[in-house]
């Protein structure tokens, strides 16, 4: 048990905390069309609003009857 805990602590402590760099022989992506400069590695880690949409917590205020869905068809056969 003690050995397993020690190995877990050692493995958890070996993460890289330096700045992100592209792999050897690779380059960062070219600038986006219309942008003057290419994004840095840190900029590429920030998700866009499409990748992380905001949550809508709007509650239903009253019951509403569902509208007919013309594409909700029974299975064939």
Residue 14 confidence class, pLDDT cut points 50, 70, 90: low
Q: What is the mean pLDDT of the chain?
A: 80
Distances 19 to 27, 42, 74 between C-alpha atoms, Å: 15, 8, 56
Q: Please tell me the pTM assigned to this model.
A: 0.36
Residue 39 confidence class, pLDDT cut points 50, 70, 90: confident
Contact between residue 39 and residue 32 where contact means Cβ atoms under 8 Å apart: yes
Overall size of the chain counted in residues? 77
- pLDDT on residue 13: 66
- Looking at residues 36-46, what average pLDDT do you find? 84
Residue of higher predicted confidence among 17 and 23: 23
């Amino acid at each position: 048990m003690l050995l397993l805990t020690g190995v877990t602590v050692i493995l958890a402590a070996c993460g890289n905390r330096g700045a992100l760099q592209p792999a050897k022989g690779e380059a960062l992506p070219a600038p986006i069309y219309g942008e003057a400069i290419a994004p840095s590695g840190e900029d590429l880690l920030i998700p866009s609003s499409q990748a992380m949409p905001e949550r809508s917590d709007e509650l239903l205020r009253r019951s509403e009857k569902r509208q007919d869905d013309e594409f909700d068809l029974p299975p064939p056969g």
